[in-house]
A and B are shown apart, each in its own frame.
Chain A
Amino acid sequence: MNKDDAFRVGNIGRAVSSRLDQARAGDIEAFTELFEPLRPAILAVARRLVGEPDAEDVVMDTFLRGWKALPGYRRHASLKTWLIRIARNACLDRLRLRRGEPLRWSLQPRDEQDDCRSTPVEETLDFTDPTIPAPDENVATKDSAAMLRAALGRLDRDHRDALLLRFVDELSYADIAAALGVPIGTVMSRLFNGKRKLRGILAEMDPMISSE
C-alpha cells in the first residue's frame, strides 16, 4: 500500500482515525505523527506555487493553519487534499504579501470546501521556478535531464506545473487539482496535453527521448 493511502477518504485505518481524533483534541504528538508524512507533498506544492526561498516558510504556515483548523475537519476530503488546499491558500497569501496587498486570511484558513476558484493562480503567480532553467539553456551536452529541464522551460505554466506535480512530486490527480485550484478533469487534460507538447519539444531535441 502506498504510504499516502492511509490518508485517503474511505480508507482511513482505525489507528489513523484514532490518532486523528487525538490530534483534533489537541494532542501535538498525534498531530506530528499524522502530518509528518504529508510534509514533502506540502513542500512540493509550495515550491511550485511560490518557489524558493519562501517555500519552507509556507510549509510552516500551512501546518500552523492546519493545527488551527483541524477540529473543524469534516472528512469530506482526504486529510492530504484538505491540507493541500490550506497550502494553496497560504501560497496565495504569500504572493499577495509580495505584491503588497493586505492578507485576507492570516491564520484563517477558509472552509475546507472552499476550492479557491475565485482567485485563479494564473493571476497571482509571476515567479520563475529555480529548477526550470530558461528555454535557451545550452543542451549541447545532450544530458537528458538538462534536456528535460530545458523542454519543460518551453512549456506554458499550466502544463508544466501539472506535469511536475504529477511526475516529479508524485501527487495524485485529486491533490494536484486541490493545489492548482482546478477540477480533476482539467488536471487530466493538462497532463495529457502537456505530455504531448513535451513529447513534441523533446522530439525536436532528440528523437530517442519519449515522455512516458
Chain B
Amino acid sequence: MTRCLAARWAVLCLFPLAARAAELDVRVIAASTAGQQVDASLRDIEPLLRRHLNFTSFELVKRGTIRLPSEGRPLALGDVAIRCLGGQERLAITIEQSGRVVVQTQTSLRHRHPLVFSGLPGPRGTLLIALLLR
C-alpha cells in the first residue's frame, strides 16, 4: 500500500515535467540599413542580431509558434513556411520560401540560444528567420 502511494506521488510529481511541451517561437523579420528602429518584440534577440549582422533596422513581419515535438506540419508566415520534425534535442527544420526549400538543418536547440537565418530575399530587402525555444 505504502509502495503504491509512493509510486502515485512520484507520478504526480513528475507529470508536470513530462507534460510541459516546449514551443518554438518563429519570427520573420525584415532587416535593412535604413533607420535605427528595432521592434520591441525583438529585444530578446537584438544582441545576437547586432553582434553578427550589419543591418541597423529590424522590423517584425510575422510571428508564429510550433509545438515541440512536432510531426512536420508547416507553419506558414507569409510566403515563408517552416516545418519541424522531432523534439528540441534533435530537431529537423526545413524553411521554404515561395514553395522552394531554402534551408534544411538538423539542430539541438537550447533555451535562450536563438537560431537566426539571414539572407532570404524580401520585398523590401532581407528577411531573417529567428527561432527560439520557449
User: A residues touching B (Cβ–Cβ < 8 Å)?
Assistant: 5, 8, 10-11
Q: Majority SS of interface residues in chain B?
A: strand
Tell me, in angstroms, the Cα distance from A5 to B106 when the chains sit together.
Answer: 12
Chain A residue with the shortest CB-CB distance to B89: A10
* Smallest beta-carbon distance A6→chain B, Å: 12
**B90: chain A residues within 8 A (beta carbon):** 5, 8, 10-11
Q: Which of B85-118 contact A (CB under 8 A)?
A: 89-90, 108
Cross-chain pairs A/B with CB under 8 angstroms, 6 sampled? A5-B90, A8-B90, A10-B89, A10-B90, A10-B108, A11-B89
Question: Would you give the shortest CB distance from B93 to chain A, in whole angstroms?
Answer: 15
* Closest Cβ neighbor of B90 among chain A residues: A11
What secondary structure prevails in chain A residues at the interface with B? loop
Nearest-neighbor residue (CB-CB) of B106 within chain A: A172
Residues of the B chain whose Cβ atoms lie less than 8 Å from the Cβ of A5: 90
* Contact-residue bracket for chain B: under 10
User: B89: which A residues are within 8 A, CB to CB?
Assistant: 10-11
Could you tell me the distance in whole angstroms from the C-beta of B23 to the nearest C-beta in chain A? 19
Closest to A5 in B: B90
In the assembled complex, how far is the CB of residue A131 from the closest CB belonging to chain B, in whole angstroms? 27
| Residues of B that sit less than 8 Å from A by CB | 89-90, 108
Q: Report the nearest B residue to A10, measured CB to CB.
A: B89
The CA of A10 and the CA of B90, in the complex, are separated in Å by 9
- How close is A114's CB to chain B, nearest CB, in angstroms? 22
How many Å from the CB of B71 to the closest CB on chain A?
A: 14
A45 CA to B90 CA, complexed, in Å: 24
* Chain A residue contacts of B108, Cβ below 8 A: 10
Minimum C-beta distance from B134 to chain A (A): 19
Question: Which residue of chain B is the closest to A8 with respect to CB atoms?
Answer: B90
Given the complex of chains A and B, what is the CA–CA distance between A169 and B105 in angstroms?
19
Give the docked Cα–Cα distance between A120 and B103 (Å): 32
CA gap between A8 and B89 in the complex, in Å: 10
Minimal beta-carbon separation of A3 from chain B (angstroms): 14
Residue in chain A with minimal CB distance to B108: A10
Q: What 7 A-B pairs have minimum CB-CB distances, sorted nearest first? A: A10-B89, A11-B90, A11-B89, A8-B90, A10-B108, A10-B90, A5-B90
Q: Residues of B contacting A8 with CB < 8 Å?
A: 90
When C-beta atoms are compared, the residue in chain B nearest to A174 turns out to be B108
A10 to chain B: which residues have CB within 8 Å?
89-90, 108
Q: In the bound complex, how far is the Cα of B90 from the Cα of A5, in angstroms?
A: 9
